[in-house]
Chains A and B, each alone.
Chain A
Amino acid sequence: MALILSVLEQGMIYAIMALGVYITYKILDFPDLTVDGSFPLGAAVTVVLISKGISPVLTLPISFVLGALVGTLTGIIHVKLKVRDLLSGIIMMTALYTVNLRIAGRANFPIYNEETIFNNGFLNSVVPAALAPYTTVIVIFIVTIICKYLLDAYMSTKSGFLLRAVGDNPTLLTSLGVDKGLVKIVGLAISNGLVTLSGSVFAQHQRFFDISVGTGTVVIGLASVIIGTSLFRKITVLRVTSSVVVGSILYKACVALAISMGLESSDLKLITAILFLLILVIAMDRKKVQ
């Protein structure tokens, strides 16, 4: 039971990040490595703000805005300075490593005794004792669902239509008199906003910031997106965003399974990489069959 809860918790936290990766990878066709820096950015900002006494709930929108700024920078590097997509991400990821260290002041920053969105006076007073073990998963569920629905809502606006069109057919945007570069920047901003928000939830869940938490984030995000979109391709009732969330939970379940089979947590990154490779190969196989 504890294992299932932990998979759900972790899966849904990373799902917010995967929603961001979905925008760049699937919609913009832009493999954005900024993610490896913007995820820990959320964690760093959050632990510092919480330790300074800022309300944990406020750290979520603050993280989103900071992430959006970071995404905007990646976009400007790519669109205005015409640096290739992969390189723009690598530049930002490398720069953010230092930025994150500067923000936190050190490589490891615990907040064990502070209030978080999972553990605060308000929650402790309203949640009945019987539900207490499930508080965390419920809070994560609410945050993730809000993010998913806001993203769905955005995608059905006029501005969201442009975002969907730009990866599909950039020529059409030019024909419509719209600057496709600007639309790409907006997409990267929203994407990294979500990733940073996910990092903020992660830090409050783990109750610490560590400079290495970002390593491999993009791989986890891509794996979740590919699992979600290729497994549920046929099921049209399920929105793509929902499949991404489910994909993220399934991915975490796979990792948990691998660890429960006797692998150690220090093997985690290796498991992540091998799993991702497997998923890519299987997903490509399915494409061929079609």
Chain B
Amino acid sequence: MLELVNVNKNFNSGTINEMCLFKDFNFKVEDGQFVSVVGSNGSGKTSMLNLICGSMLVDSGKILINGEDITYKKEFLRHKNVGRVFQDPSKGTCPSMNILENLSVADNKGKPYNLTRGTNRKKIEAYKDMLRPLNLGLEDKLFTKVGALSGGQRQALALLMSTMTPIDFLILDEHTAALDPKTAEIIMELTNQIVREKKVTTIMVTHNLRYAVEYGNRLVMMHEGTVVMDKSDEEKKNISTEDIMRVFNQISVECGN
């Protein structure tokens, strides 16, 4: 379980541009939930992910994972049991290394990176079996540098790499936003499949309202650092993109947009 307790976060503290994003913000994600988070730009979606992952520290408040206080835990240590996929496909892979090397380095997460061989020939078949269902032809390109792949292929690889080893949380930060509609669809299907298979607790930030409605078992809408809508399970099933749009527009009108 993930908990954000009374989190406060200001930007540009002490300057004229000071901006309060989170004020006594509370948020809870139960084990096994697949949460879609929507909201306009600047609503705090990505900042929330950054606070959870440790790319950004809270001003005050607490962040707990399964009861353990990780508020001030180093970023790389938090990732030991957290997988993260970014909007930019190049952030999840290493362009100068080939697919096999990328998969191998991800496969070793949590184990020591010592002086034994980086790639294991015996695992090649297993990796191919993993890549085949993607239907992107990656299984025949194990020795191709990742820098030569398309954005969609890279993102698919990044998604596989971040979920290869056992993790407690999967954090998806607008991970389909930089892809064309067709590829985005493939990546979203793949995401759903992985989340179901591994039963990993997932938080997905997205601008695509349809994905937010279709996938996952909880939908959260954020606005100016607060949760303005939170529907799970049965309630979520009855919600449509139109409903969300309506709430969305209402907020925008109130803001004067």
Interface residues of A (CB under 8 A from B): 154, 156-162, 164-165, 168-169, 171-180
Q: How many residues of B contact A (CB 8 A)?
A: 33
With A156-B118, A161-B104: A174-B113 Cβ-Cβ less than 8 Å: no
Number of A-B residue pairs, CB cutoff 8 Å, is 78
Cβ of B186 within 8 Å of any chain A Cβ, yes or no, is: no
Which of B74, B77, B95, B105 is the one whose CB lies under 8 Å from A158? B105
By the criterion CB–CB under 8 Å, are B79 and A169 in contact?
Answer: no
A162 contact set on B, CB distance < 8 A:
105, 113
Distance (whole angstroms) from the CB of A207 to the closest CB of chain B: 36
By the criterion CB–CB under 8 Å, are A157 and B90 in contact?
Answer: no
By the criterion CB–CB under 8 Å, are B101 and A161 in contact?
Answer: yes
Report the separation of the CA atoms of residues A162 and B94 in the bound assembly, to the nearest whole angstrom: 10
Chain A to chain B: the 10 pairs with minimum beta-carbon distance, closest first: A177-B80, A161-B118, A158-B113, A177-B79, A165-B94, A161-B105, A174-B76, A157-B115, A171-B91, A168-B94
Interface residues of B (CB under 8 A from A): 74-77, 79-80, 83-84, 86, 90-97, 101, 104-106, 108-110, 112-119, 162
Given contacts A159-B115, A168-B95, A176-B109, 9 further A-B contacts (CB under 8 A): A154-B115, A156-B119, A158-B105, A158-B113, A158-B115, A171-B92, A173-B76, A178-B76, A178-B113
B90 contact set on A, CB distance < 8 A:
169
Which of B97, B101, B104, B110 is the one whose CB lies under 8 Å from A177? B110
By the criterion CB–CB under 8 Å, are B109 and A161 in contact?
Answer: no
In the complex, the chain B residue whose C-beta lies closest to that of A158 is B113
Report the separation of the CA atoms of residues A132 and B174 in the bound assembly, to the nearest whole angstrom: 68
A179 contact set on B, CB distance < 8 A:
74, 76
B109 contact set on A, CB distance < 8 A:
176-177
Report the separation of the CA atoms of residues A173 and B91 in the bound assembly, to the nearest whole angstrom: 10
State the main secondary structure of chain B at its contact with A. Answer: loop
A159 contact set on B, CB distance < 8 A:
113-115
A157 contact set on B, CB distance < 8 A:
114-118
A174 contact set on B, CB distance < 8 A:
75-76, 79
A164 contact set on B, CB distance < 8 A:
94, 96-97
With A175-B83, A177-B80, A179-B76: A158-B116 Cβ-Cβ less than 8 Å: yes
Query: What are 15 A-to-B residue pairs whose CB atoms are below 8 Å?
Result: A157-B118, A158-B104, A158-B108, A159-B114, A164-B97, A168-B95, A169-B90, A171-B92, A172-B92, A174-B75, A176-B79, A176-B106, A177-B79, A177-B80, A177-B109
B118 contact set on A, CB distance < 8 A:
156-158, 160-161
B96 contact set on A, CB distance < 8 A:
164, 168
Report the separation of the CA atoms of residues A203 and B152 in the bound assembly, to the nearest whole angstrom: 53
B97 contact set on A, CB distance < 8 A:
161, 164-165, 168
